[in-house]
């Protein structure tokens, strides 16, 4: 059982670092870099990167939560319902809840906001001009939509900072 606990803890920590690191990378590097691209460059770049990045973050986040449940309830101190009312149990429940909220925030708020920065090429907006009509792909206002995506991503990073605090508390038995 000790070996299983060590392997679970190792995977939980590595995947947690990966999940958090991918989120910080997006907030510090990826999104600010988008502001330097033209709409013609931004669309293919985001379409090639975002789906893989989103899948990566959602998968690692899900695995971190599953491993956290296993660490607490299978090989950890949460062996009965009464253990949920200890200091550790309350912190564990808060951690699992916050991790689920962060994962939902990623899937339902951050990822759609980033995807909106590069709408599908199939959608077209017809813009009427005096001499002729031009067909232009829709491009959202980059400053406003990028600012929204960055704000949502930084809220997620803030959630991670709180989650790391919970992990430290649980390490010391709280």
pLDDT digit string (tens) for the chain, length 174 residues: 789 999 999 999 999 999 999 999 999 999 998 888 887 888 888 888 888 999 999 999 999 999 999 999 999 999 999 999 999 999 999 999 999 999 999 999 999 999 888 866 544 444 444 554 545 445 445 678 899 999 999 999 999 999 999 999 998 888
What is the DSSP code string of 5-54? Answer: HHHHHHHHHHHHHHHHHHHHHIIIIIHHHHTTS-HHHHHHHHHHHHHHHH
The answer to whether 42 touches 34, Cβ cutoff 8 Å, is yes
Delimit the domains of the chain by residue range.
2-171
Let me know if 98 is exposed, middle or buried by CB neighbors in 10 A (0-12, 13-18, 19+): middle
């Amino acid at each position: 059982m000790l070996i299983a606990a060590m392997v679970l803890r190792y995977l939980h920590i590595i995947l947690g670092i990966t999940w958090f690191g991918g989120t910080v990378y997006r907030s510090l590097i990826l999104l600010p870099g988008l502001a330097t691209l033209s709409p013609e460059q931004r669309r293919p770049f985001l379409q090639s990167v975002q789906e893989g990045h989103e899948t990566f973050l959602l998968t690692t986040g899900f695995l971190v939560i599953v491993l956290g449940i296993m660490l607490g309830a299978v090989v950890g101190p949460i062996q009965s319902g009464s253990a949920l009312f200890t200091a550790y149990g309350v912190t564990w429940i808060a951690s699992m809840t916050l991790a689920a909220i962060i994962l939902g925030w990623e899937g339902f708020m951050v990822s759609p906001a980033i995807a909106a920065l590069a709408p599908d090429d199939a959608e077209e907006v017809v813009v009427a001009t005096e001499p002729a009509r031009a067909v232009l792909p829709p491009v959202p206002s980059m400053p406003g939509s990028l600012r929204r995506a960055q704000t949502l991503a930084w809220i997620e990073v803030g959630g991670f900072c709180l989650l790391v605090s919970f992990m430290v508390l649980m390490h010391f038995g709280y």
